[in-house]
Amino acid sequence: MSVPNAQRQIDMLTKMLRIREFEERVKRTFTDHPGVIRGHTHLADGAEASIVGSLSHFKKGDAALATYRCHGYPIALGTDTKAMMAEILGRVDGLCKGLGGSMHLTDVKKGFLGTSGIVGAGIPHAAGAAWAAQIRKKREVVFCFFGDGASKQGAFAETLNIASLWKLPVIFVMENNGYNVVTTSAQEDANAAAGQPLSIKAKSFAMPGVTVDGTDPLAVAAAVGKAVRRARRGDGPTLVESKVYRLSAHGNIIAPPGVPLHYPEHEAITVFGKREEYEAALRGDPVPRFRGILVQNGTLTAAAADAITQKVVAEMEAAVKFAVASPYPKLESALDHVYA
Ligand SMILES: Cc1ncc(C[n+]2csc(CCOP(=O)(O)OP(=O)(O)O)c2C)c(N)n1
Ligand SMILES: [Mg+2]
């Protein structure tokens, strides 16, 4: 395993910070300015290391697909954060002209093929994109991100089966944050996911399966790197279970009329009362932890890390300003991109 050099590690930290600060502003806009963001948003706080470590292997021509918890991936791929924020606010300068919103971010030029609110929907789409890549014979691969809950869907089993049989170049990255809204994936839970660790499901489809600490970007990069090399060689898919945290609620809550909209704390507190679990997750927060490691081992100074953070904050403040100033799309444009 080759460890990314110092500059690449700093780039990884920068991307993790960009994801965190972008989403922090989504959260604040939602809570402090009710009505400015319509519909749901789902944050990836706690999964930044998994996103950035996985996509550190992304090359031009590759593709990625994800779920509704989708702000981090395009940021890691270099999508313009102004267009992303405008999309989330439903404005005409958004990535999808304001018609998609938070759950439907798409940037085909950057290889981010799309997202969906339907749990598991991206998994077969990824196989289709990988089949196209196989036909093109350019050693391109597809990164397919989904949750632990999605692994309970039929589409997961069907896709892993065909992907293995056809040796499709897919890296299935299951981001296991332990929750499916409020249901858990722990074995002792009545609504559990059978078979632990969840990566053992790979065995029945005759592909490698590995579980990795998804809060460590270097560990994720090492595991996904191996899977990417296998896929580029033409040897087929791998299932990587990346264990992450969900540091805020499943999504925002649309409150009844008259009640302020809010982002509740983690449901583990509000629903299950597992405050200890939440506090442990906060102690393992991948963003400050990776920053701390890089400063401690001398990869960058604390002052340099602060300077990166300030630059990132300025970028994200500018993204909000841009989005707020952008107009809403015209009503007549609502059906412009509907093909059925
Ligand atoms: C097909 C389908 N079934 C149910 C839902 C309702 N739903 C939305 S998110 C979710 C939980 C998904 O959990 P997981 O796959 O672990 O993703 P996470 O939200 O934890 O990232 C469910 C059941 C849905 N959107 N689509
Ligand atoms: Mg989950």
pLDDT of residue 94: 98
Straight-line distance from the first to the last Cα atom of the chain, in angstroms, rounded to the nearest whole number:
48
Indicate the top mutation candidate among 180, 191, 250 to test ligand 1's pocket, ranked by most ligand atoms within 8 A of CB: 180
pLDDT of residue 260: 47
pLDDT of residue 269: 53
Ligand 1 lined by 180 (C-beta under 6 Å): yes
Q: Which residue puts its alpha carbon closest to atom 25 of ligand 1?
A: 118
Ligand 1 lined by 147 (C-beta under 6 Å): yes
The parts of the chain modelled with pLDDT lower than 70 are 1, 186-191, 253-273
Ligand 1 lined by 178 (C-beta under 6 Å): no
Report residue 261 as tokens: 């909209």
Global pTM reads 0.95
Q: Tell which atom from ligand 1 comes closest to the C-alpha of 146.
A: 15
Are 138 and 61 in contact by the 8 Å Cβ rule? The answer is yes
Q: Checking phi first, is residue 241 left (phi over 0); if not, alpha (psi -120 to 50) or beta?
A: beta
Beta-carbon neighbours within 5 Å of ion ligand 2: 147-149, 177, 179
pLDDT of residue 256: 45
Ligand 1 lined by 118 (C-beta under 6 Å): yes
- What is the Å distance from ligand 2's center to 245 Cα? 9
- Omega cis (within 30) before 329: no
pLDDT of residue 39: 82
Domains in the chain (CATH in brackets) are 6-324 (3.40.50.970)
Q: Give the number of the ligand closest to the Cα of residue 177.
A: 2
Ligand 1 lined by 149 (C-beta under 6 Å): yes
